[in-house]
Amino acid sequence: MKLLFVTGGSPATVFAMTPLATSCRNAGHRILIATNRESTRAAMNAGLPTICISENSVRSHIRKLRMSGNSEMKEDDSMDLLDFGEVFANIAVEYLPKLRKIVETWRPDIVIGGQLHYSAGLVSREFGLPYIRLAWDMGEPPELDQVAENTIASRLPFTKKNGLAEPTLNIGVCPPSVCDPRIPVDVVMQWIPYNDQIELRTDLLDNSYRTVFLTAGTKVKYPDYFYSYLRAMVIELQRVDARLLVSVPQDAAQQMHRDTGARVEWLPFDSVSKTVDLVVHHGGGGTALTAIAYGLPQVVLPNMPKLVQPAQRLEKQGAARVLLPQEENKPGALIETVESVLENIELYRRRSARLREEMYSMPTPNDIVETIERVR
């Protein structure tokens, strides 16, 4: 079969698809990744056939929405939760013409779309193809779908009658105990961590140190895209009684080093995880799921409203501590929370291990290939 994967937004959206796409190709199927320019390198680094369907970044769509006056965006381009539905609806409208050309030319048998890539469903319905919706994190708020449907209908009147396309199959990647129960899931798939890699050093394989891993994901850019948010955490956590590993995208790393004096670089979380005791992060779904996969305790400082509830579900399971903005802004709150978790690390490890075992019980991407083959 030919399988067209549609994603984009950041490298993380490609990382989430890579294990399934690779399993499909290893099973003898032909695959093609359709994504935007900011994510093409991540797909090609994974050795996946890739086509660019947009030169625009998600950030450019966010700023366009800000300029329209329809959104109350805050520092670092964070947004109110429902604004993301409008942003990805606009992305769907932009993607659709090029996706039509790809389908007409390449003639895929199935279209597999990342969770908020509504264009995958639209083009599937237009050409009568099965549509599979693949989650890329702990679950996007379902309210976004209604916002997206309304926005798409206002821009593409032919969609008003039928709304968004219903997936033939919904694939979830989050352990059910910490998944939003409102999200439709037909089959679950084990999260297999994947990241862009670097040439590793021996010190990154050394687990003789107590180690804290700090990241704000793949979106950080200097000077204003979650940069100040991460910089504040780097400065505070340099006082922690542990080795601090800070992962920053390469184009922001040099400035971060100048601003903080800390050693910062892009570090693939999946590759250094065996040396890590605690993960401090922004609440990104890929980071959280990777921590679950390795049974690592977490301290989460959600940097977007939509990341709050997933983080709180982790905290409810005893696998994480969550600091909301009104708490994290208190002087010393982050370092106190991190040191508290480190002092009780064995308790947090046991609770995190329960989630890891739940994830390991889920079908692997190789298993899901057989399910996809039956969809056709």
Q: What is the pLDDT of residues 78-126, one digit of tens each?
A: 457 778 899 999 999 999 999 999 999 999 999 999 999 999 999 999 9
pLDDT score at 75: 45
CA-to-CA dists, residue 262 to 199, 231, 271, 287, angstroms: 20, 10, 21, 21
Can you tell me the mean pLDDT for 175-191? 96
pLDDT score at 90: 95
Per-residue model confidence as pLDDT tens digits over 191-238: 999 999 999 999 999 999 999 999 999 989 888 778 999 999 999 999
Res. 74: pLDDT tops 60: no
Q: 2-167 has which CATH code? A: 3.40.50.2000
Contact yes or no for 35/52 (Cβ under 8 A): yes
Alpha-carbon gap, residue 163 to 183, rounded angstroms: 18
pLDDT score at 328: 65
Q: 202-360 has which CATH code? A: 3.40.50.2000
Res. 73: pLDDT tops 60: no
Contact yes or no for 88/118 (Cβ under 8 A): yes
Contact yes or no for 317/351 (Cβ under 8 A): yes
The tokens describing 218, both together, are 């793949």
Q: What is the pTM assigned to this prediction? A: 0.94
Per-residue model confidence as pLDDT tens digits over 134-179: 999 998 889 999 999 999 999 998 887 788 899 999 999 999 999 9
Can you tell me the mean pLDDT for 35-53? 97
The tokens describing 191, both together, are 């999260």
Domain-wise residue ranges, the chain: 2-167, 202-360
The phi-psi region of residue 278 (left if phi > 0; otherwise alpha if psi is between -120 and 50; otherwise beta) is beta
CA-to-CA dists, residue 284 to 103, 243, 268, angstroms: 32, 22, 15
DSSP character for 368?
H
Alpha-carbon gap, residue 375 to 368, rounded angstroms: 11
Res. 62: pLDDT tops 90: no
* Residue 203 identity (one-letter amino acid): D
Can you tell me the mean pLDDT for 55-83? 71
Give the model's confidence band at 259: pLDDT under 50 very low, under 70 low, under 90 confident, else very high.
very high
Q: How many other C-beta atoms can be found within 10 angstroms of the C-beta atom of residue 350? A: 13
Alpha-carbon gap, residue 345 to 338, rounded angstroms: 10
The tokens describing 153, both together, are 């209908």
* Contacting residues for 329 by C-beta, under 8 A, at least 6 apart: none
Same fold, 2-167 and 202-360: yes
pLDDT score at 70: 60
Can you tell me the mean pLDDT for 24-46? 97
